[in-house]
């Protein structure tokens, strides 16, 4: 049986690791927050002192951390995964479930391959509720052979496994998905403010859009906050959203694509972060935009 490691036990990672344990896999976890590791130990996991220990002892290590910079630190920082795997002669597979920059993912994959370590991207699609129930999407960039080995473990936390191509394609597709989602958030926010200025309430707006071709799952959770003030309906922070759309704009620049929309959306989220609203959730962008025009949507 594969020996699983997990680094990054946040809102999504904690549920994913729990589901891997529930599927019967031995699991060793590491996270800077000791309480998150202790919660898994109570379910039967083991705790690791650092990433290097997981690189030494595990055959597959999942990463679910905030940024590409964190991924690089976990792999190549002090007591990193690479050092642990190399010291043990371990042909480790690292599965990066973070929303990362594809250019960084490909560069790391090439470098790690020189040390006999395989890097796979398996970006996440879904919500914390789906993470808890084991019904996330795994958006994978990997060789066919490596995916065949990983698939039984991925199935512990993913209801759907989507193979996009070679390494880096999973992260690329996740960023394209985030481009759409964060753009919807920006468009909904500005549309509500324009409507409010013109005398259209959020309730009237919703009565026209809901059930139309412009309706969607994203729209419904966004408007569950707008209409009902339910912050738990759409738990994705503006800090994470801003990072993701910034990565989209950077990818477009690296590919020499003139992406005016991506940069405009990135600028809107960046302005919300600059005023200290990073801990708010994406639907709260609607309040931020409205407040800039001396309006309240609720």
Domain presence at residue 129:
yes
Token pair 């599965």 is found at: 95
Same domain, 144 and 188: no
Domain-located, residue 79: yes
Cα 183 from Cα 165, distance rounded (Å): 25
Residue 270 CB partners (closer than 8 Å, separation 6+): 242, 246
- Which residues lie below 8 Å from residue 190, measured CB to CB, with a gap of 6+? 289
H or E stretch covering 21:
helix 13-22
- Indicate the DSSP class of residue 55: H
Question: Do 197 and 85 belong together in one domain?
Answer: no
Domain limits for position 246? 172-291
Catalytic residue among 33, 43, 86, 174, which? 174
Residue 163 β-bridge partners: 140
Instruction: Verify that 46 and 186 share a domain, yes or no.
Output: no
Q: What is the CATH number of the domain that holds 286?
A: 1.10.1040.10
Decide if 174 is catalytic: yes
* Tens digit of pLDDT at every position of the chain (298 positions): 899 999 999 989 999 999 999 999 999 999 999 999 999 999 999 999 999 999 999 999 999 999 999 999 999 999 999 999 999 999 999 999 999 999 999 999 999 999 999 999 999 999 889 999 999 999 999 999 999 999 999 999 999 999 999 999 999 999 999 999 999 999 999 999 999 999 999 999 999 999 999 999 999 999 999 999 999 999 999 999 999 999 999 999 999 999 999 999 999 999 999 999 999 999 999 999 999 999 999 8
Q: Is residue 297 part of a domain?
A: no
d(CA 221, CA 181): 12
The strand pairing partners of 63, in sequence order, are 7, 96
Q: Is residue 60 part of a domain?
A: yes
Q: Strands 46-47 and 4-7, how do they pair?
A: unpaired
Q: Where do we find the tokens 């994978």?
A: 140
């Amino acid at each position: 049986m594969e020996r699983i490691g997990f680094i990054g036990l946040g809102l999504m990672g904690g549920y994913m690791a729990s589901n891997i344990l529930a599927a019967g896999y031995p699991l060793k976890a590491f996270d800077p927050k000791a309480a998150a590791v202790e919660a898994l130990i109570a379910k039967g996991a083991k705790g690791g002192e650092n990433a290097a220990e997981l690189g030494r002892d595990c055959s597959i290590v999942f990463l679910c951390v905030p940024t590409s910079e964190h991924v690089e630190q976990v792999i190549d920082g002090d007591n990193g995964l690479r050092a642990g795997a190399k010291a043990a002669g371990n042909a480790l597979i690292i599965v990066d479930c973070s929303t990362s920059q594809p250019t960084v993912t490909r560069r790391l994959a090439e470098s790690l391959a020189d040390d006999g370590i395989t890097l796979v991207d398996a970006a996440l699609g879904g919500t914390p509720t789906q993470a808890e129930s084991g019904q996330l999407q795994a958006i994978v960039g990997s060789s066919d052979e490596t995916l065949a080995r990983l698939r039984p473990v991925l199935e512990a936390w993913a209801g759907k496994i989507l193979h996009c191509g070679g390494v880096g394609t999973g992260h690329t597709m996740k960023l394209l998905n985030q481009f759409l989602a964060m753009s919807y958030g920006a468009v909904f926010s500005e549309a509500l403010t324009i409507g409010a200025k013109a005398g259209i309430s959020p309730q009237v707006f919703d009565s026209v859009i809901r059930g139309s071709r412009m309706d969607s799952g994203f729209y419904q959770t966004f408007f569950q906050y707008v209409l009902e003030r339910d912050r738990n309906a759409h738990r994705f922070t503006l800090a994470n959203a801003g990072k993701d759309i910034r990565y989209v704009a950077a990818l477009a620049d690296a590919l020499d694509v003139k992406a005016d929309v991506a940069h405009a959306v990135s600028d809107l989220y960046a302005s919300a972060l600059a005023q200290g609203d990073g801990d708010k959730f994406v639907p709260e962008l609607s309040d931020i935009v409205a407040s800039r025009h001396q309006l309240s949507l609720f």
